[in-house]
Structure formats: structure tokens, C-alpha cells
Amino acid sequence: MKGLVIKAHSGFFTLHRLPDGAQFVARAAGRLTKGKHVEDALAVGDRVTFEVIQSGGPITARIIEVEPRARTLSRHDPIIGSAAREIRQVIVANPDLAVFVFACAEPEFTPRLLDRYLVGAEAQRLPVLICASKIDLVGPDQAKALFAEYERIGYCVIYTSAVTGQGIDELRAALHGKLSVLTGKSGVGKSSLLNALKPGLGLAVGEISSKWRKGKHTTVVPELVRLDENSWIADTPGLRAYSIWDVTAEELDAYYREIAPWVSRCAFSDCTHIHESDCAVKAAVARGEISQARYESYCRLREELSQQRRW
């Protein structure tokens, strides 16, 4: 039987059988998890072959095979004290789309964090959608102004309000037929959006509006929520999901999509675009073709990456 892993919880996996949707709680066959692995053997989003077992307990299935992954959303998990071993923690297997949720207000929009997420997604070749949430708090004009630069460089931005219902149909259409990963810091309204997308879902929503100030996360376990027949969404715990630590300083320019096209025209092939004199990127910034804010974001991130310890 074929299934989709919709929840992973310390060695147990909840499976959604395809195509009928019957649910099973499974463990993985020993050989799948034994031995050396560079990444988690099983994660939410994996497509598996399984068999039903009679255990008399809560476990009703055994996973016997995992389909090769199209891509993964993952992050490095350095193992303390053994630099040679490195493991990828798979947050979601086979994602089709990353949805980055940023509130127009409460909490305040932080473009530098969006840039980090975008770099992570570009590096993992994951298509991106930006969701500007809580549009009711600022109105359409101010919301558009906040995200204008991202639209200009070609990212799709959908403006939503879980309160008025604005943009929810547009968002639902964009998610159709895909496995999407919803990411954003605590309090931006991810669970509220999911509840609006799927009435009756009843996900817990942070009740105290000051909660985001403490950065407390209401959602803790990544879990796939089914929007319709073949549309799935993972409400991730956020923040750490888009670690960019796989990216090197030298390749960073490739992941700023409006910077990348200029790189080959720089005088030096290893141009950092920071201090060189004959630099096509800096010239494009001077002409206003690359925004000052995004360029500064690039410089800051590059500095940070060049200082990080490699393992």
C-alpha cells in the first residue's frame, strides 16, 4: 500500500493511505533507519510503501520503502563533539512551494528576515510565495508599499487577512495541488491563515496578541494539513526552518535574484561586490536597478557567512 507521512513523532509516523485517506500509525522497518545516514530516513512529506500489521496496540502499519525525494527542506544539525559527522535534519520532504508569511504589522515586517528565507529557498531551488498577512491592520496601499520591491524583482506576493477573509481564495488557488510549507515567525498568523483556508480545522491560535513579543511558538510539531484532495500544507514551527548555513559566502550572489544577472559582468570573477572598483553589481545599485536595501542586505549576509565556521 502507498501512503504519505503526515506526522512524525519520535519514531512513529502517521500515514495517510493513498488514495482513500485511511490513517495508520507506523514504525519504519529496521533496515530503513539502521546504518549511516546523511539525512533523516523518514520525514513528513515522504511517500512510502507500507504493510498493515496486527499488533494489538496503537501501531497498525510498518513502512517498508521510502520513495526517492524530489527535494527536501532541511537544515544541518551539527553533532556536538564530532565535526566529521554531519546530519541533515529534514523538516519536510518533497515540498513544492515555500510560503513565507510576514505580517504587515504586529509583528512589524522585517525584510532582512525575508531575505534570509529567500536565500534559503533559492539555494534549495524551492519555488516561493510571499504572503503579506494582517492587511486589515494597515490597509492595501501601505501593505503594497512594504512589499513592492519583492514584487518588482519577480516574487509573487499575496495580501491576506484572516479577519476580513481578503486574499484567502487567491492563496487557496496558489496552494492547489501542491505540498506547501508555511513559514514565518511566531504571531504572524500562520495558524489563523490555515483556519481561514480550511474552516473547521480549529488549529490553536495565539490568544494573547502580545504573545509574539516573547517569540513564543504555539505550533510545535510539523504536521501536514490536508486542504483538499491533493493539496497539503505543513505549518512549521518556523524560524529555524530556513537555515541558510548550507550557503557559502562565494555563492550568495546567485541567490539574490536581481543581483545574479550582473555577476558575470564584474571585472573579477571572484568579485564580492563589496569593495572592488570595477563591479557591475555596484554600478546597478548606483543606477537604481538593484535596491539599496537589498544590496545592503546582501553585504550584511555575505559578511556573516564569510565569518561562519565551516564543518
Give Cα separations from 285 to 184, 265, 288 (angstroms).
Answer: 29, 14, 5
**Mask for 176-215, x = binds ligand GTP (CB under 6 A):** --------x-xxxxxxx------------xx--x------
C-beta closer to Zn ion: residue 15 or 279: 279
Answer yes or no whether residue 217 interacts with ligand GTP by CB under 6 A. yes
The closest alpha carbon to 190, from 213, 220, 170, belongs to: 220
Alpha carbon 208 to chain centroid, angstroms: 25
Q: How many whole angstroms separate alpha carbon 273 and alpha carbon 158?
A: 32
Output the furthest CA–CA distance in the chain (Å, rounded): 72
- Say if strands 97-103 and 128-133 run parallel, antiparallel, or are unpaired: parallel
Size of the site for ligand GTP (CB under 6 A): 22
CB of 41 or CB of 283, closer to Zn ion: 283
Q: Is 102 in the site for ligand GTP (CB under 6 A)?
A: no
Minimal distance, residue 231 CB to ligand GTP, in Å:
19
Query: Is 191 among the residues that bind Mg ion (CB under 5 A)?
Result: yes
Check the CA dihedral 110-139-99-299 and report its sign.
negative
User: Which part of the chain contacts ligand GTP (CB under 6 A), choosing from 107-115, 132-140, 151-159, 275-283?
Assistant: 132-140
Of the residues 281, 285, 290, 301, which one makes contact with Zn ion according to CB under 5 A: 281
Measuring CA to CA, how many Å separate 159 from each of 65, 128, 147, 198, 236? 40, 14, 10, 18, 20
Which are the contacts of 138, defined by CB distance < 8 A and separation ≥ 6?
104, 105, 146
Residue 127 grid coordinates: 519555488
* Smallest separation (angstroms) from ligand GTP to the CB of 209: 4
Residue nearest to Mg ion (CB): 191
Residue 238 binding ligand GTP, by CB under 6 A: yes
Return the bridge partners of 63, or none.
28, 50
Question: According to the binding rule CB under 5 A, does residue 198 interact with Mg ion?
Answer: no
What contacts 54, CB < 8 A, 6 or more positions away?
Answer: none
First-to-last alpha carbon distance for the chain, in angstroms, is 40
Answer for which of 161, 183, 231, 272 binds ligand GTP (CB under 6 A) is: 161
Q: Is 166 in the site for Mg ion (CB under 5 A)?
A: no
**Among residue numbers 270 through 289, which ones bind ligand GTP (CB under 6 A)?**
none
Under rule CB under 5 A, residue 259 binds Zn ion: no
Closest approach, Cβ 163 to ligand GTP, in A, equals 4
* 134 scored as a contact of ligand GTP (CB under 6 A): yes
> In residues, how long is the chain?
311
- Pick one of 279, 284, 285, 305: the residue that binds Zn ion (CB under 5 A): 279
| Smaller CB separation from Mg ion, 113 or 254 | 113
Residue 158 CA, chain-centre distance (Å), reads: 16
Cα 104 to Cα 146: distance, rounded to the nearest angstrom: 7
Residues that bind Mg ion (CB under 5 A): 190-191, 218-219
Residues that bind ligand GTP (CB under 6 A): 133-134, 136-137, 161-163, 184, 186-192, 205-206, 209, 217-219, 238
